Structure 1
Amino acid sequence: MFKQKAADDTTVEIKLDEERIPKHVAIIMDGNGRWAQKKLLPRVAGHKQGMEVVKEITKTASDLGVKVLTLYAFSTENWKRPASEVNFLMDLPVKFFDKFVPELIEKNVKVNVMGYTDQLPASTRKAVDDAIAQTSQNTGMILNFALNYGSRAEIISGIQTLATEVLENKLKPDEIDEKTLDRVLMTQQVAPYNDPDLLIRTSGEERISNFLLWQIAYSELIFTDVLWPDYKPVNLLADIAKYQARDRRYGGIKETKKESTDK
């Protein structure tokens, strides 16, 4: 039984099966702009509060025993936003890691970043590289940021890598299978937990937005109306409880006792 405070400061008890905690949780952190708009604040205020939520959710996921927490921080399409907002978003990792890395080290959390990081501003790249280096010896949960990431681009890059291997006679076309493609996708960095067990999207939107298209083939999807800056540890616990209530069959069926004894 896990106890957490709700938004109204009441204590909520949520029963979870500790043996069935999802190993890989991925979150599309949506709703920062709308949260700020509702409070008559600039959009960047929502992004700033959203980073504070990242800290709390990271600590909660780690305490629960999640192996990988993947957060969709910035997509390859987000460059289309106003320059002022993009500049603010690019500066967030600098401030975030500067303050949070000591806590991550204390919690034994390892930082990983997947995406086209070579296209990030130099200060952002340095903050990312430093956080990865400083937490490289940690052996607990992996906090995996998708930063300048897009799933279609990732798949294309992976296919290009395999095509090059074929041209160089390192791989035969008929040797390409699911495991081969897994090997060249960015989530190989968090193997063996490449594929999320649970994908959560906040803010009420019900779409994937070019996130982990290959990897979520059999993930459980949960769409919540809670805006990301309002997302609390109790919301994560509730979403994991929903996940545990589902029957994951991966395209097959589960035998009943009668079916198994009739064989």
Structure 2
Amino acid sequence: MRRILPWIGVGALLFLLLAALVPGLLAPADPLAIHPAQSFRSPSAGHLFGTDESGRDIYTRIIHGTGASLLIGISATAIGVGLALVFGLLAGLGPRWLDFGTTRFLEVLFAFPGLLLALLFIVVYGPGVVTSTIAVGLATAPGYARIIRSRVLVVRRAPYLESATVLGRGWWFRLWQHVLPNVAGSLFVLVTLGIGQSIVWASSLSYLGLGAVPPAAEWGAMLSAGRTYLASSWWMTFFPGLFILISAVATTLVGRGLQERSRRS
């Protein structure tokens, strides 16, 4: 069963990528088209996931919102891992005083809940899709940096890196030829695991009205719009939440599978 789960995650991710790249193939209708006469229709053959308060088809909106949600998750993860790589390399390869200062700074940031850091950033720079994406990336960076630092320290003590130092190889040569290739595997696993987390956090900010806002076809914004009608029209929040869950679980399964594979090798 443990070998099957990663493949289930791969299948789910392929479906999400298909929906993100060619949403018209799976849902050819307009996600913003309103039909007031068809508002609050429950799931049926005509509307698989029902309709919202304006008569918009929720299935169509979810499929067309996949690209926006995945783009936010990937962008936020790229920001977080990019910053973490800089801090991790500084701490792992720098002198002792730089490692001490960088590590203490990361520990202070890591002591705060990630969403709290994101909220503080949004309070300063204002809400919006771009701001929430940057905020999520900044909030996830400290955790990634600690992992990268530990991996860099392992590589730093490796015999092949010591040999390169003795042979007089420059810092940049050692970085590109020895450090980064041996950290790349861990980075790829971090990215895979982080995308799902970033999607959940960005959707949470949109749910609070700090990211994408209705009528945008984005999963968090759809959750925010549907919470008013949760008691009478459960499908308006259930299906966007389900796809957020599927994306997070799928990326986690793939990331765990890659992690297990790297450990065996």
What is the TM-score of this pair, normalised by structure 1? 0.25
User: Which has the higher Rg, Structure 1 or Structure 2?
Assistant: 2
What is the TM-score of this pair, normalised by structure 2? 0.25
User: Which structure: greater helix fraction?
Assistant: 2
